[in-house]
Amino acid sequence: MDENIVEQIRKFVEEECKKPSSKYGYEIYPFHFVLVHKYSKLLAEKFKADVEIVELAAWLHDVGSIIFGRDDHHLTSAKIAEKKLKELNYSKEKIERVKHCILNHRGSQLNKRKSREAQIVADADAMTHFDNISGIFMAAFLYENKNQGEAQDEVREKLIRSYNKISSEAQNLIKPKYNAAMLLLK
């Protein structure tokens, strides 16, 4: 039996993360992609969005940053998504809907989201920060050479920014983790 398209795309993204050339190593797969997918699917089911579109966009939204780096990764990811989904004979209309989510998932594209699915992927992307606090600390210590106090401030500020930019539905879901983080990082 043919594997469904979501599973084929998931495998494609995981394979890209496993390559030695992956800009973020393999860790981005379990610590980011899997979480974005989890929250995207949960929100899509809860708010009656198109689950398949959301799942595909969740797996593909950052694929460009693994292959080419973070700059313009919404554009590179959309391009890779289009090519890959075409190869799998996915319909043109649905490819456009997946691309819309990918192109508008970044905070800077806040006002350009025209579909419920795009809002969900953006929300899920920001929600993952609350499940990966150790990763934000690692970035502050390792890549930005912050000391302990600075790192703590940075993590807290980042979580506040993430919380403020997601929809109120997503805020409600993540609120216990937000409150816990604020208590611990005061």
Report the alpha-carbon distance of residue 39 to residue 41 in Å, rounded.
Answer: 5
State yes or no: residue 52 binds Fe ion (CB under 5 A): no
Interacting positions 108-127 with Fe ion (CB under 5 A): 125
Query: Which residue type sits at 13?
Result: V
Q: How far is CA 19 from the centre of its chain?
A: 20
* Segment lying near Fe ion (by CB under 5 A), choices 9-17, 54-62, 106-114, 164-172: 54-62
Interacting positions 59-78 with Fe ion (CB under 5 A): 62
Shortest Cβ 141–Fe ion spacing (Å): 21
Report the alpha-carbon distance of residue 67 to residue 18 in Å, rounded.
Answer: 11
* Segment lying near Fe ion (by CB under 5 A), choices 21-29, 56-64, 76-84, 154-162: 56-64
Tell me the torsion sign for CA atoms 12, 15, 21, 22.
Answer: positive
Shortest Cβ 169–Fe ion spacing (Å): 19
Interacting positions 125-144 with Fe ion (CB under 5 A): 125
Shortest Cβ 50–Fe ion spacing (Å): 19
Shortest Cβ 126–Fe ion spacing (Å): 9
Residue 65 neighbours by CB distance under 10 Å: 20
- Joined tokens for residue 3: 């594997």
Site of interaction with Fe ion (CB under 5 A): 62, 125
